[in-house]
């Protein structure tokens, strides 16, 4: 039998139990009163006797009614009916909260996926733009440069120029990915990735551009 049909039948007999309990709680049926037999109830709710049996079994278990074979159903306790309704109402509230929570979690999951997708797209586009706008450039550190004898961190090289030093050529050596505290010597050649406007900012440090720019007399940088 399909699960959907099972759920439908389960909901039906529970709804019938709730309806009977509600009628008792409203005073339509008094304690000790006989309230119909199974066949009558089956006809009243337009369901099978088995569905009625399951509904009454719930109410009998909770002390709401008593079943008398061959006689019918009698009301046992008004208080039990009210207690059953209250408990059912609380379960319904919890079920509703759970349902809404699941809906929110599904929506958040979709939103998280969309955010992750857009973030990756943004990072990819930003990287491409940064790569397109920046280029590898070389600068010579002259003896009168304010960077000579100091570290990249001391002069805040990246902040002031917008460039990142990829390597330092010193005589026959090459220092790859130098630390920010590396001391720069006169004559060092800095291999930098930076935007075109970096040449304007390197004037403050008296660095001579060697590649990536039109030939510019050193005097124009001072």
pLDDT tens track, the chain, 222 positions? 444 334 444 478 888 998 899 888 888 888 888 887 777 888 888 998 889 889 999 999 989 999 887 778 889 999 998 888 888 877 777 777 788 888 888 888 888 888 888 888 887 767 666 555 667 888 899 989 989 999 988 988 888 887 889 899 998 899 998 998 999 999 999 998 877 777 777 777 888 888 654 444 443 333
Cβ–Cβ under 8 Å, residues 162 and 115: no
* d(C-alpha 92, C-alpha 71), whole Å: 33
Residue 29, SS3? coil
Query: Would you list the domain boundaries of the chain?
Result: 1-132, 134-221
Crossing angle (nearest 10°) for helices 49-61 and 3-25: 60
- Only one residue has tokens 């209250």, namely 86
- Residue 176, beta-bridge partner list: 167
CA distance 158 to 58: 76
Best CATH choice for the domain 1-132 from the list 1.10.10.10, 3.30.1490.20, 1.20.120.10, 3.40.50.880: 1.10.10.10
pTM above 0.85, yes or no: no
Give residue for tokens 């075109």.
Answer: 196
Given a contact cutoff of 8 angstroms between Cβ atoms, the answer to whether 65 and 35 are in contact is yes
CATH code 3.30.70.1450 for 134-221: yes
């Amino acid at each position: 039998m399909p699960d959907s049909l099972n759920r439908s039948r389960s909901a039906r007999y529970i709804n019938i139990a709730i309806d009977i309990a509600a009628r008792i709680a409203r005073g339509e049926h008094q304690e000790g009163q006989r309230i119909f037999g199974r066949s009558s109830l089956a006809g009243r709710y337009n369901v099978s006797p088995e569905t009625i049996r399951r509904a009454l079994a719930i109410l009998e278990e909770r002390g709401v009614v008593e079943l008398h074979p061959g006689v019918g159903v009698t009301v046992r306790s008004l208080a039990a009916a009210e207690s059953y309704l209250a408990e059912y109402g609380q379960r319904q509230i919890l079920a509703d909260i759970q349902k809404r929570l699941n809906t929110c979690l599904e929506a958040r999951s979709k939103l998280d996926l969309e955010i992750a997708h857009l973030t990756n797209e943004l990072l990819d586009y930003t990287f491409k733009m940064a790569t397109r706008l920046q280029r590898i450039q070389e600068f010579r550190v002259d003896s009168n440069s304010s960077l000579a004898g100091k570290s990249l961190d001391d002069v805040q090289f990246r902040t002031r120029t917008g460039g990142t030093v990829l390597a330092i050529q010193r005589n026959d050596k090459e220092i790859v990915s130098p630390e920010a505290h590396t001391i720069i010597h006169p004559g060092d050649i800095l291999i930098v990735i930076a935007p075109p406007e970096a040449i304007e900012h390197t004037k403050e440090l008296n660095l001579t551009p060697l590649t990536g720019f039109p030939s510019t007399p050193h005097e124009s940088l001072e």
